[in-house]
Amino acid sequence: MSSDFLQQIQQRRTFAIISHPDAGKTTITEKLLLFGNAIQLAGSVKGKKGPHAKSDWMSMEQERGISVTSSVMQFPYKERTVNLLDTPGHEDFSEDTYRTLTAVDSVLMVIDGAKGVEDRTIKLMEVCRLRDTPILSFINKMDRDIRDPIDVMDEIEEVLKISAAPINWPIGMGKEFKGVYNLYTDVIHVFQQGMGHTINDDIQIKGLDSPEADELLGAYAEDVREEIELVRGATHEFDIEEYLAGRMTPVFFGTALGNFGVREMLDGFVEWAPSPLNRETRQREVDAKEEKFSGFVFKIQANMDPKHRDRIAFMRVCSGKYTQGMKMKHVRLGKDVKIADAVTFLAGDRSAVDEAISGDIIGLHNHGTIQIGDTFTQGEELKFTGIPHFAPELFRRIRLKDPLKTKQLQKGLQQLSEEGSTQVFFPVNNNDIIVGAVGVLQFEVVAYRLKDEYKVEAIYEPVNVQTARWIESSDTKAIDEIKRKASDHIAIDGGGHLTYLAPTRVNLNLAQERYPDVEFWSTREH
Ligand code: GDP
């Protein structure tokens, strides 16, 4: 492998942002792109309420002012190439987010300083923990009166069970916000107001004990020095090994809206965040620096752009290099395919890609053959693992307005379930079709797309199912028994897997007791 290629891989940083809605993910994304020169003006990423809803792909989404899709942004920063994977903000689409987290090497956690650690952050953190993903933190909205920073740090440690190491510390907050003090370089970065839309000069004061610091802090100078002394004593020191192992998060303070503290955070990020990591497959570990190409699909997206009316499979490149027109093996199908038209994404706009390497995300045009979790290689029989499928929590029976369209309905649901937009179950004892979702908005998306893409009008009816488990046993007799005795609860899912549909938690518990040789899985790998 050429040293140039190895260096390019070393320079890649592929990450996603996790946060609770309204913590500032969109705003910080804009500023990151501003630093990356990826867009001329901040504010055009996906103005949720504004006219530039670039990554919105569907009118329903725009009407609701939510962003359902994940897109990918690539930008250069300080000799690095940064890939930022956007995730849907709405929790109804959390499955998408979970899978996107399997395609990154680290995450940025954005916390609203006034609100502290919120629900969705806790959930997303649990997903990160499954893979010990390194987490860097940004405590946002310092231009407001937030909670005592020490309390926020304590909360991160207690609630998220990760040690927190402040890299910089805020000086004042709200109207009195003066800037941040870097605990390692002994530099104060001075806050300037009204510079949110530009890359402002980094005004530095060297030394907390300097006369310049006295001048900036005025009557507070001594208090600030005492506080910093206290902070040093009461918090962890940053340890990069602990960070890379997912046990410690370096913490930066700032304001995304004021575009302050973001640059310091980004500098720390490109310095410490891991370059593309090795990935597990069922057969062996794939080294990100291997010469031969490999990758897996973590997301399929329809109608990204109404003009194109197609489906894009998002693939994380795990090793080697994609070049335009190359042949890849689609492992599940055992077929070689020539890929001539992969695309990349820049803030929602797509363009053809000539080359992509480990850590990059490329989009493949999918004509119905690609599924989430599919592995592509240069010939080797590999299957990447760890791309999860979660048991739905909400269920509806789906019924056609026009019964003659059963075929289209089945085809539509099959495809939508393959791309992960919904899950579908066919009970063995009747002709019902049951649709499962993690969030209620998913049902609306499915109905909309069935109508729009498959020309079938479907209606939902309530169904007496509360939860589902994929069932499996090494003992075929045990499977036969549950299929026979509990047949009213048995269904086949869109992927052909045996499923137990439970009307209540109690029923599920009883079934688990009654059939001890059967395993009930709440997640399934693709
Ligand atoms: P998201 O839902 O996490 O993407 O959050 P947004 O980036 O859309 O931000 C939510 C709201 O918080 C918006 O009204 C932002 O303008 C505001 N906001 C974001 N960052 C800051 C900040 O640093 N200070 C203040 N005062 N408001 C902010």
Is the pLDDT score of 39 beyond 70? no
pLDDT, one tens digit per residue, over 326-335 is 999 999 999 9
Is the pLDDT score of 12 beyond 80? yes
Among residues 32, 493, 428, 430, the alpha carbon closest in space to that of 265 is found at: 32
Cα(398)–Cα(432) distance, rounded to whole angstroms? Answer: 8
> How many other C-beta atoms can be found within 10 angstroms of the C-beta atom of residue 221?
15
Say whether 22 counts as a known binding-site residue: yes
Integer Rg of the chain from CA: 25
Q: What is the pLDDT of residue 91?
A: 65
Is the pLDDT score of 13 beyond 90? yes
Q: What is the pLDDT of residue 92?
A: 63
CA of 22 to the centre of ligand 1 (A): 6
pLDDT, one tens digit per residue, over 176-202 is 999 999 999 999 999 998 888 888 889
Residue of 437 and 268 predicted with greater confidence: 268
Is the pLDDT score of 430 beyond 50? yes
CA of 171 to the centre of ligand 1 (A): 20
Q: Determine what percent of the chain falls in helix, strand and coil, rounding each to the nearest 5.
A: 30, 30, 40
Confidence at 37, pLDDT banded by 50, 70, 90: confident
- Residue closest by Cα to atom 17 of ligand 1: 24
Q: What is the pLDDT of residue 260?
A: 96
Q: What is the pLDDT of residue 159?
A: 95
- Residue closest by Cα to atom 14 of ligand 1: 22
Residue of 452 and 121 predicted with greater confidence: 121
Q: What is the pLDDT of residue 351?
A: 64
CA of 286 to the centre of ligand 1 (A): 39
User: Any residues with CB less than 8 A from the CB of 459 and at least 6 apart, and which?
Assistant: 398, 399, 400, 401, 447
Q: What is the pLDDT of residue 303?
A: 59
Q: What is the pLDDT of residue 341?
A: 78
Is the pLDDT score of 222 beyond 50? yes
Collapsed DSSP state (helix, strand, coil) of residue 376:
strand
**SS3 letters for 280-336?**
EECCCEECCCCCCCEEEEEEEEECCCCCCCCEEEEEEEEECEEECCEEEEEHHHCEE
Cα(337)–Cα(346) distance, rounded to whole angstroms? Answer: 26
- Residue closest by Cα to atom 24 of ligand 1: 141
Q: Ligand 1, from 25, 64, 257: best to mutate by most atoms within 8 Å of Cβ?
A: 257
Least confident of 339-348, 452-461, 515-524: 339-348
Burial 2-39 (b: 16+ CB within 10 A, else e): eeeeeebbbbbbbbbbbbbeebbbbbbbbbbbbbbebb
Is the pLDDT score of 68 beyond 80? no
Q: Ligand 1, from 27, 49, 259: best to mutate by most atoms within 8 Å of Cβ?
A: 27
For the residues 420-434, what does the mean pLDDT come to? 91
Cα(151)–Cα(347) distance, rounded to whole angstroms? Answer: 35
Among residues 87, 47, 53, the alpha carbon closest in space to that of 348 is found at: 53
**SS3 letters for 16-37?**
EEEECCCCCHHHHHHHHHHHCC
Contact 444, 451 (CB under 8 A): no
Confidence at 64, pLDDT banded by 50, 70, 90: very low
Residue 255 CA, closest ligand 1 atom number:
23
Cα(125)–Cα(132) distance, rounded to whole angstroms? Answer: 10
ipTM of the predicted structure? Answer: 0.99
Say whether 19 counts as a known binding-site residue: yes
Cα(272)–Cα(59) distance, rounded to whole angstroms? Answer: 40
Ligand 1 pocket (Cβ < 6 Å) reads 19, 21-27, 48, 89, 140-141, 143-144, 255-258
Say whether 86 counts as a known binding-site residue: yes
Is the pLDDT score of 93 beyond 50? yes
How many percent of the chain have pLDDT more than 90?
Answer: 64
Least confident of 13-22, 37-46, 249-258, 372-381: 37-46
The label of the residue with tokens 């693939």 reads: 315
Least confident of 59-63, 250-254, 315-319: 59-63
pLDDT, one tens digit per residue, over 254-283 is 999 999 999 999 999 999 999 999 999 999
Say whether 375 counts as a known binding-site residue: no
Say whether 142 counts as a known binding-site residue: yes
Is pTM, for the whole model, over 0.95? no
